[in-house]
Structure 1
């Protein structure tokens, strides 16, 4: 079988120095050889199923990293399933996928995977143990040639869907020269593997033979301890995490090794970026990316930041990785430099011949190529880098028998950018806290409203739709017995 260059690079790096440390997790190191052995067991399992699309209930652990790498070694397709989206939604997602092969931890498999004659189920525990095949299904292999990862995302160009990240896209973003030995510095990976940022960060480390400390999630105390111990020169923080660091008791001495912070996934204000630099003496390089683009399409370099930040503050930088950027009217006519419109992108990761992709972002592009994101043309709420669709939250609320109607909007939040808040009118008595419990079983944690206001009647327009301007005003004035979050 002819392997893709990305698959060959992964195999070459895993075999480069088997005894060298590769992944630190929970204060223990796992070697490249241990990761290699675990990945090859997964690759063999995938090959037994015809290189099928494989649903992986992904969490941040060395075993899950090895599972992803193993599927890529087999030129198979990783179908990302997020076990933290809410049990009901995850079960429905898996039922709709009906995969021939599914992989997860014993707890996730027991809770989320219903028995199926189609699906073969493998459970993973530690790198040292082989996956245990607990259910043998008779599903037909369903390969998707050329697709490395099918990422579940809300996206900026439409409703929630799976985005196909091809081997070519990932290779263009991650492959440099083959290292002759493992790198000495230790990177930090705190982005979730269920998001494109986590997948890219892991692949960037692996293809460069760079050891990394893997965190289950961003935790300020744990992150700062790892920074002090490993002294990285560069770290990546989503805006919500960056604001947590900014408003913490950490000092310049705690972050003394760091020369630059990169930040993306959600808007970061220029004031927060400047405040971070003033407090810690570290420049913040913002970027603009989306799963639909195959990663980043604009960002700041350190040289640009040193030369242009004062004049261009608030920009997300210039086109990267060969991307094309333009701002157009709703009809698609390009607007002059400096004028606002809808952003369209030709991502470099997609290769030559790519069509312009229309986003839902309002933007402006100046004569020097610097891009500003001015807001969203749709009603999506970006909470700490996670996209929340108001209709999803409204539908989940209205699924409760006691709820007669609901309206969901975004409320500005200093740390997270925005949080969803909800107004409900009832047909039977129920408390806001009981409604929140109802939502936690159906939605991801970041989709649960920070405040739920129970009112006699939702304000509505003459057509009968909720008056969202009035709903926003209600929460801006902090009226009406909501539930804080």
Structure 2
């Protein structure tokens, strides 16, 4: 018997209907047999060159070969160490050198650019599902630490600083994908007929979860290299999925595009997470397309979601609870505490603590940095990040409040707000704004708009209009890059 239910389920799915379609990528379908063959080849390579429960670095790209690599590491019960090749060559090379891994897997181009020839590791090139992995084995590979029970060392989004790695165990991923009692979960009797669309990056927990969700359900899926509006819309029209997942930045792109209800005719619900989404945008999307938006709350360290909206809750409660991220899901427990660590009454703001359902039931509370409130019906509102609050001359400014006000302007496609040091006031809010392509709005007009919606001390002292806001792989604004922009600039508009 397999040591863990996730490995067992994937083994069963790969053998269920080998010749049926599994992944569509750039117009071509791969079968479960092709995915399974490559996964098993990867598992063999890892067993021969990595030892017991090895940590294996993967320069992850959204390709079928990398999906098979991920599954192969699960078959080998190894640990996938996520490496993001898009972070820049120097940082990625330093990251690989610091990790000290026995095996690194990637495309030929990534390995040539990012893995030093002097590094004591086995480099494994993966190209397509039908080409066997090519090895450049080191004669004396390093003996790295092993992490039995850890499935993925996942990178956080790196929204506020350098990404760090969070260990996601096989048990956590099994609970996320198979339910609260994964040992009792049974594999599907046949592949699903509906086709899903995966546009989240594999270097983010959202991409990992969506792929696992599809594979464990034996559901064929379209894998997009990245979210690109027209390609995504083409796949939605062709496959008519009942549900799609869009991060807020992508949802706003769809909302403000020329797509119509006919383009999204098969979709019954849109799920949205990874970053805050305003109730106004959610309502505007529903008004335009007739599709409810089900927001959720998750974090990498939770191993997935801990709160979200269901269709039934949306139908019954959205009018009164709009702006909430829903109620506890997947067996999670939520509470809000005060500054002394004591639980507060329903409706009272404080710091959010979570007991994720993906963790052992006896695990303690995880304290987040999110300010929140929970009402008497269990609905959760995220009010902002406590560690991102800007104190301007004694007044507290929440960046998300300013961002939402900016994004309410009809010309604004997206915004990011950070604090900038100020000798007199301590800190002031500054904002980076991305306009819709057809707009010629200037910063004076935006600042005037904000003064009708915000207190004077909340209005940014500088507004910078840029072509594109820097973003992390999960679609969140890269606040480190935003701060770096403003560190080199002075002036602008504000209160």
Q: Tell me which interval the TM-score lies in, with the shorter structure as reference length.
A: 0.7 to 0.9
Instruction: Identify which of 431, 434, 438 aligns with 1:411.
Output: 431
* Equivalence for 2:235: 226
Q: Contact (CA 8 Å) 1:240, 1:415: kept in 2 or not?
A: no
Q: Residue by residue, what CA displacement relative to the aligned partner does 1:319-343 show, whole Å, maximum 9, x if unpaired? A: 0011110111122111111011111
Q: Which moved more, 1:238-247 or 1:154-163?
A: 154-163
The equivalent of 2:316 in structure 1 is 307
Q: Which residue of 2 aligns with 1:3?
A: 3
CA deviation after TM superposition for structure 1 residue 4, in Å: 1.4
Equivalent residue in structure 1 for 2:293, among 284, 287, 293: 284
Q: Which residue of 2 is the match for residue 482 of structure 1? A: none
TM-score by length of 1: 0.81
Residue aligning to 2:78:
76
Deviation digits for residues 393-421 of structure 1 (CA, Å, limit 9, x no counterpart): 99xxxxxxxxxxxx9976265789xxxx9
**CA 331–135 in structure 1, closer or farther in 2 if over 3 Å, else same:** same
Aligned position for 1:208: 217
Q: Distance in 2 between matches of 1:422 and 1:17?
A: 60
> Is 327-336 or 190-199 further displaced after alignment?
327-336
1:452 Cα offset (Å): 3.8
Residue pair 2:295, 2:326 contacting (<8 A) in 1 also:
yes
Distance 1:389 1:118 in 2: 43
- Judge conservation of contact 1:147–1:167 (CA < 8 Å) in 2: yes
Aligned to 1:240: 249
Q: CA deviation at 1:264?
A: 0.3
Aligned to 1:183: 192
Aligned partners of 1:155 and 1:291 also within 8 Å: no
Report the TM-score, using the length of structure 2 for normalisation: 0.80
Change (3 A) 1:24 1:196: same
Query: Distance between the aligned counterparts of 2:30 and 2:310, measured in 1?
Result: 33
* Map of 2:115 onto structure 1: 113
CA distance in 2, matches of 1:410, 1:28: 46
Aligned residue among 125, 128, 144 for 1:126: 128
Gaps spanning 5+ residues in structure 1: where? 395-406, 424-431, 459-473, 479-485
Is the alpha carbon distance of 1:453 and 1:335 closer, same or farther for their aligned partners in structure 2, counting shifts above 3 Å? closer
Q: How has the CA–CA distance of structure 1 residues 362 and 475 changed in structure 2, closer, same or farther, with 3 Å as cutoff?
A: farther
Counterpart CA distance in 2 for 1:376 and 1:214 is 32
2:99 is the counterpart of 1:97: yes
How many residues were matched structurally? 429
More deviation, 227-236/47-56: 47-56
* Alpha-carbon separation, structure 1, partners of 2:235 and 2:168: 31
Show the counterpart of 1:323: 332
Is the contact made by 1:328 and 1:344 (CA closer than 8 Å) also made in structure 2? yes
CA distances 1:264-304 after superposition (whole Å, capped 9, x unpaired): 00000000000000000000000000001111000000000
Once the 2 structures are TM-superposed, how far is the Cα of residue 390 of structure 1 from its aligned partner? 7.6
* 1:455 to partner: Cα distance: 6.7
Cα distance, 1:2 vs. partner? 4.1
Matched, 1:270 2:279: yes
Offset, 1:93: 0.8
Give me the whole-angstrom Cα distance separating, in 2, the residues matched to 1:365 and 1:71.
39
Other structure's SS at 1:350 match: coil
- Measured in 1, the distance between the counterparts of 2:210 and 2:347 equals 33
Measure the CA separation in 2 of the matches of 1:268 and 1:118.
45
Residue 374 of structure 1, CA deviation: 0.6
